[in-house]
Homo-oligomer: A and B are copies of this chain.
Amino acid sequence: MTIHDHKRPVIPVLPIVFLPSQKEIHPNGHSTLLELAREARVPLEAPCGGKHVCGKCTVIVESAKGPLPPPSDREKEVLGDLIQIGYRLACETVLTCGASVVVPEGSQHRPQVILTSETQHAYPVRLQPHVRPCYVEVPEPSLDALLADRERLLMALEKAYRLRSLQMDLFLLRRLPQVLRSGRKGVTAAIRDGKEIVALRPGREEHLYGVAFDVGTTTVVAFLLDLVSGEKRAVIPAMNPQIAVGDDVITRISFCQERPNGLDHLRGEMVSCLNGLVAEAAAESGIDPDLIVEATVVGNTAMHHLFTGLDPRYLSMAPYPPVLQEGQSLKARDLGIHIGVSAYVHLLPVKAGFVGSDTMACILATRLHKRKSPALLIDLGTNGEIVFGNRDRILCCSTAAGPAFEGGHIRWGMRASPGAIDRIRIDPDTLNVTWQTIGAERPFGICGSGIISAAAEMIRTGIILSRGNLNKTLKSSPRLREGEDGWEFVLAWAGETAAGQDMVLTQRDVAELQMAKSAVYAGAAVLIEQYGDAPFREILLAGACGNYVDPRDACTIDLFPNCLTAKVVGVGNAAGHGACLALLDKNKGKEAERIAQKAEYVELAAETRFQELFVESMWFASARDFEDDF
């Protein structure tokens, strides 16, 4: 140490303060801002890991307490004129003095999460919801520079987060004076897409919540998610109360046409149901519903219209045009949904009158639109939406399969709920029947997968012949008999069932199943043909029924083409999962929009090839193999 050094006063080095996180760290003279940010645990994006490649670690250096290093060539190349207003690349910049370093919205690191789901297809998603909490301290009003409550709040947010021209709606403005004067330090503004404040809370709120609704014709499910951690907090299912009016969408559309205020009535029923689910989910997880600041909704087009209050009547008239297709962000209060007063509900896009946002959400959840090899996606419900394609091309259609897969129009049919037979085995020698019920209860009826299972076993044991007729030559078994409605096969004897009556599968039930399965088969075949007969390896079955169907049974009844070569995978409630993904990652909503635009809708009613295939696939082709055995 020289005398000179000795005399030099010790100048305390001021820290580098990262904003908006307000984390501090002292410069050491050699670490880059990116390295310091990591040390200070500031969530700064750097996909290339600091290798000077990606150019994503943009920051803004402000109020530096000393000279800044000149910008590197790479910074000049990536940032251009932005350098003049303080922009730098964190991986290129070494500061030797204190400064404020703003990490702008676009450079903030978003963690990835995997959303739990019953499907095997869950994939990691970036946690970048529409709405984020921003905490600020708002200065008191003063005579010197009189600023209104709103203007002081916006100024504080601009200063802390570089958010400009933020909007606030009337209902939030009405709450503003009280929130600012609550006595707690600071306020948390929930900010949507950097454009609008959609909730305001006194003090610091670390967590905001969102709710995803999967609105099916039969069941409705609400998923309550933590938008900050990505955690699923509650999943609450309910029956769609519109069932009181009719099981299928056509009945409900007719109801709207025939009754004055029919649409208002059905909409009201649905909205009350969803509000009940929100209240239940919030209570179950101990969350203030006011902190639910965003919602997403998926459903078939009729449910989408009935929920939104859009006249559905033209959905039932060729060419079945919806009122709208593009995704919409609407105020929850305008829809009657009781979450945060200024929150938005995002309705995912629909494709056509009978291919709705539930199908778009299924594609999103299964990543069909990103796959290299094509796959077949089938939602086994009343409408039987079918999708075939990959990242190059997506074709979709809807087959009016009828309600057989949901237990409708089947003598002993019922929905997949406790007491429903969902799997059947028949002894080929004795024709004795064993079954499995949901909840291991006494059989009360038979659900979609049970009907498919029963039919498949009956084909394997020669009870059902290739044309679908019951094999009357097997009269030796007491289970095969002529009933009031024609021939029938006894699945369970009266003593075994909950109803105390023989449970049968009738010749008519088999015919109903044939209609349903040939519609699905023919619809899928048309899409595959139009795509150009590309080989495919996976068949994805969505929906409650689809998830529990035994792939072998599906093959036996020829439910869809290629079932011998492709792998059949149940993907569960893929629509609901897609709605959750869109809630956690706003880019998924944009992806859904691109899917809807890119997907090609095939109107089967206009395809003569569909009619041909429908008739052709009515038979059980594989039954011929078994017929010979008997």
Contact = CB atoms under 8 A, between A and B. Distances in A.
Interface of A: 141-143, 146-152, 169-171, 173-174, 176-178, 181, 308-311, 313-314, 318-326, 328, 330-331, 334-335, 350, 352-353, 601, 603, 606
A396 to B, nearest CB: 12
A170 B334 contact: yes
Nearest to A323: B149
Given A146-B320, A176-B323, A177-B314, 11 more contacts: A141-B319, A146-B603, A148-B325, A148-B350, A149-B314, A149-B321, A170-B328, A170-B334, A173-B310, A173-B328, A174-B310
A147 B318 contact: no
Nearest to A330: B170
Contacts of A148: 321-325, 350
A193 to B, nearest CB: 15
How many copies of this chain does the complex contain? Answer: 2
A177 B147 CA distance: 46
Contact of A603 (B143, B321, B322): B143
A311 B319 CA distance: 52
Nearest to A318: B143
5 contacts: A141-B314, A152-B321, A170-B328, A174-B311, A176-B310
A55 B149 CA distance: 43
B143 A177 contact: no
B323 A150 contact: yes
Interface centre among A141, A353, A603 (most CB of B within 10 A): A141
A176 B313 CA distance: 13
B177 A323 contact: yes
A345 B319 CA distance: 39
B603 A325 contact: no
A150 B325 contact: yes
A325 B171 contact: no
A151 B311 contact: no
A355 to B, nearest CB: 10
A413 B146 CA distance: 36
A132 B335 CA distance: 28
Contact of A146 (B147, B170, B174, B321): B321
Contacts of A174: 308-311
A467 to B, nearest CB: 34
Interface centre among A308, A334, A352 (most CB of B within 10 A): A334
Contacts of A325: 147-148, 150-151
A601 B146 contact: yes
Given A170-B335, A177-B314, A309-B170, A149 B319 contact: no
Nearest to A331: B170
A324 B172 CA distance: 12
A149 B314 CA distance: 10
Contact of A321 (B141, B323, B335): B141
A323 B143 contact: no
Contact of A143 (B151, B313, B319): B319
Nearest to A176: B323
A350 B146 CA distance: 12
Interface centre among A141, A170, A321, A335 (most CB of B within 10 A): A321
9 cross-chain pairs, A with B, having the tightest CB-CB distances, nearest first: A141-B321, A150-B324, A148-B325, A143-B319, A148-B322, A177-B311, A148-B324, A149-B323, A170-B334
A335 B146 CA distance: 27
A105 to B, nearest CB: 22
A170 B324 contact: no
Contacts of A309: 170, 174
Contacts of A319: 141-143, 146
A322 to B, nearest CB: 4
Interface centre among A149, A313, A606 (most CB of B within 10 A): A149
Contacts of A601: 146
A311 to B, nearest CB: 5
Given A308-B170, A311-B174, A330-B170, A151 B324 contact: yes
